[in-house]
Structure 1
């Protein structure tokens, strides 16, 4: 659908309450027949945006809110009252506080009609009843008081009230919050029908509602728009770290990876990028300079890094052993903070791929780029950026060294920190991987550790240099299911807090499904299928992927 008629334009809008900036430099356009969804955490400024457009903001606003090229921030209160409820309508979030408890639903809608139209009460009452019927309420429900209606029925009444004067702009502030799924579906269908001829701004933290109703999505964080673009593009392939965090935290039936949160809490009035205290790929400039909202790749992003960064890129990578191609012209990109799982049976080339990346064997052809730099040799700084977690912890750890020595060894080799500082770093790493940091544990040898403890020590050792990439080669295949679950949860928690990118190698597609953002299926050295984890596991296109899924672990209850 093409939108040609600009009804509402928001230009350089700033809103503050008690000298605290809530909205900063907001620029948005909504046209006839278009729904713009504004998503973000509580406190991002979403409701303040809706209230400002409706002329109900209690704070101080600058910039412009243009309705039909008329700045609503500059008109009188009397004129705003004429516009609000007739040309621009707002459906509030809290139905209980919006509907008057002493008047019936019909009486309240009748009053709204008479306030904006030269109409007698009888005619207005008939029109009110028609509007309620269109919203799914009639007869006894239309004659009820608010407390006699369910939450969904109250929401229908508010929608009927907002639409009764046929407004050109409809503002929806969390219209499906706290509704059960069936009622939410009915309300969403009603809103979709109502939005077809109007300019709509949908304020919501409910991403499924945004996906169903919106043409365009604006992601709001700390009062600023950090990502803006077509709804399908932004929600299917988020490019700002915050947008990805929102989607990772949202439960829905297409989610296969375990839910992950966003470290830290939102803060306002910070210098630089508003998301930088919580961002795991921030630069020094992010702390001082506000990124501009710049059009790139079909959407606008406010990020000094240009969005989520690729940290590892493999181009036409091949490895031949004795005339046998173990890896064949492989192309892969791993992004900051994501888990990309390489899935395939034994002998498919997965471990050879890991060893080639780490320089334990040389590539026959192809290129490896680490953070945009082509790797020609493995120097010390290479291993500060990327580490490998081996499959068997007992073979990966020297039995002549204690736990303390094993974890401290990478710091010793690279001469990082003073001796006392290195010991403190070891204790901190042990705590981070949920192991004891007391003297007794520090002086244990690998043979004195359980399998789960040994693997955690391997992970702590891998983290000692603060890499941004972990290659995990079957890191839980030798562990029982309970310990495996704990190790996987640990890795996901580390990814969340450190922003780790993980290349997770496994033969277990059921496990990969639970931890991956993306899956790459490897057969005979080639990637035969790659994509978002839910698409690969729900609708596999390649026969080999279908075979792996057919053999995946299942507990059949019937």
Structure 2
């Protein structure tokens, strides 16, 4: 079904794949793992004919920057040469022959169609077995509450469920899954895996994931892609990263620098659906609060409210200066001026035509930092200072600082690279409060640990952190006040209580963030 032979791939002069061989037979699931940015998603797009580019001589692939992708070798899917197939042939393959669940959720659905409309469109193209749209939706884990919603009103986890259903409904012979469970809560993840297991013997599947446990549970074989080479099996697990104990208490805020981000009696509804009612939470400088909950419970909306990107329909969101209860608290700034948001959909949050350097330079040279000028151009010293700051930001989040990466456009970044760039852009503002919405969902284990250490260090140095996550290990490692949002109610978990498995190593468990404060309504 899937046969890759001696395949090499370069994008912008960077060799992503180097003489890769891979064969996946009908009824087999192959798990593909590797560090963020190693080329897993590019291979998936190449196998589905969605990667624009052209063939080239193998010896010219690396070291010569060129627009688009260039490749050498062979890739056959469903007896079709995917490197030479034209648009008409590809259109006949999509759906019943080849299915793809993409990693970038932000623009994967038609914004003008409801969930039921997407399913009806799929049935109109590929045919129906006589069941209604409603029956098919329910069969593929799409409850009635989602049927009439548009993509703008869906959470990341709900979008992922819709994409998985749309890929499975035509019953393709080949299915390529790019991080299909990254944005799902544990319950939705289990349901998604049950859906994927149905009729799996009828198709060849490639599962791209960072989750070793998922690969071991779901796939018969696995391979590790790194530095262009695909090796069978997986390398030994590396020791888990640790964070500093009592990250808030180790570096208390300076006198006069204490501030609080406060959401008080906040309510928000979308249409006739109430996401949450009367929610209150406070995060202090040097404090951390985490919010977990099922997909669609309103966590991302709560994050956007906290960051000042949308206004609450009821209640208020403010940033206050001074210790709580001191009698000296005063309004300090609008949340948008004091907070930075790390979006769950990084590709949608950044201009796709911007280069990596332009994304960060735009923030560093924003009008609030220096007057915008068309002439004269910034001095050589000013440009050097900006470049130095950009290099330090990229190093903080584990991204390369080479010229070819700085010139790469957002649209061609992998999910993990885009996520880390979004974090770097948020840090470039030096915010008093960081609101992070699933900042580790698209990252491999090593990079995730690096980002967790970075977030812990920011809290230690006095920043406030509101973290939305499905990963209980990340929430437990960072410590602080932990909450669940479900049924419109935000509830604080008692100290020491956790949901889900603890991380493999968590020195200082229970120390948490000493100065994190939270209230719940």
TM-score, with length taken from structure 1: 0.38
TM-score, with length taken from structure 2: 0.41
Higher relative contact order (CA 8 A, sep 6+): 2
Bigger share in helix: 1
